[in-house]
């Protein structure tokens, strides 16, 4: 049995996709349960903890798919850049994962994560812009790959990142309205606001699912 570097990277790429999409469904379900009117504050707290924990898998998987996907593209010759570009790509990937884990571990210390959170948000905006430009340039014949399916897949990935940013923006005021619900002191207006925020965020989440399926199809079929 031949276990090559390419095979290992491909398996990781598939696993990251599965964990991203699979656990995102769990996050979606947990979010819907924690706003139910017929559960206790203790149950809300448990649902919130489960949702936050599960949400780390998609966040880590996003960084993993970028890093491993870029590695596969370069090693297979799909992406026309020198192989030493793998070094900064992996450095970015590792730092990305470290940022995700740091924010999760210190989520209850807002002052401690303030700077990292801002850097993480701006990094995502930069990545969205960079990947969008690279993919469109490639589709126009002036980018880093001649594989149109790959260029489109990169554009779709940028779309998932944009939707992720959309979730963050939509959820910006969720904590201020959901916090009182955990204490049993929420007003009807706060409950309604928390529910409305979650509904708005779900549109971005469902869009991520659809884009992930499109990206997987492009990678599997390579239609053009």
Q: Express each pLDDT in 74-99 by its tens digit.
A: 999 999 999 999 999 999 999 999 99
Other beta carbons within 10 Å of 107: 12
* Closest to 204 (Cα-Cα) out of 172, 174, 159, 145: 159
In this prediction, the residues of the chain whose per-residue pLDDT falls under 70 are 1
Q: How many domains does the chain have?
A: 1
Secondary structure of residue 145 in the 3-state scheme: strand
Instruction: Give 194's Cβ-side CA count (13 Å radius).
Output: 23
Output the pTM of the full model.
0.95
The sign of the dihedral angle between the CA atoms of 161, 25, 207, 213 is positive
Residues 35, 178: Cα–Cα separation, whole Å: 9
**Calpha distance 160→42 (Å, rounded):** 33
**In whole numbers, what is the pLDDT of the chain averaged over residues?**
95
Q: Which long-range contacts (CB under 8 A, 24 or more apart) does 137-145 make?
A: 144/79, 144/80, 144/81, 145/73, 145/78, 145/79, 145/80
Q: What is the rounded CA–CA span in Å between residue 80 and residue 7? A: 21
**Residue 1, pLDDT score:** 62
| Residue 52 near residue 104 (C-beta atoms within 8 A) | yes
Q: Domain range holding 172?
A: 5-221
pLDDT digits (tens, 9 = 90+) for 46-74: 999 999 999 999 999 999 999 999 999 99
In this predicted structure, what is the pLDDT of residue 36?
85
């Amino acid at each position: 049995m031949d276990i090559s570097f390419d095979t290992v990277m491909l398996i990781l790429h598939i696993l990251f996709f599965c964990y991203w999409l699979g656990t995102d469904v769990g996050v979606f379900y947990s979010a819907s349960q924690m706003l139910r009117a017929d559960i206790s504050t203790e149950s809300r707290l448990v649902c919130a903890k489960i949702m936050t924990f599960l949400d780390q898998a998609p966040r880590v998987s996003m960084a993993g798919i970028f890093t491993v996907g870029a590695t596969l593209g370069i090693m297979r010759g799909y992406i026309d850049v020198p192989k030493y570009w793998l070094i900064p790509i992996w450095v970015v990937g590792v730092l990305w994962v470290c940022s995700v884990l740091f924010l999760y571990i210190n989520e209850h210390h807002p002052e401690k994560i303030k700077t990292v959170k801002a850097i993480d948000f701006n990094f995502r905006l930069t990545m969205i812009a960079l990947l969008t430009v690279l993919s469109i340039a490639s589709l126009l014949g002036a980018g880093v790959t001649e594989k149109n399916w790959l260029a489109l897949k990169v554009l779709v990935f940028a779309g998932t990142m944009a939707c992720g940013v959309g979730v963050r923006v939509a959820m910006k005021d969720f904590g201020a309205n959901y916090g009182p619900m955990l204490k049993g002191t929420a007003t009807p207006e706060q409950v309604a606001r928390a529910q409305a925020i979650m509904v708005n965020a779900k549109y971005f989440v469902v869009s991520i699912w659809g884009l992930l399926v499109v990206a997987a199809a492009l990678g599997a079929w390579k239609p053009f």
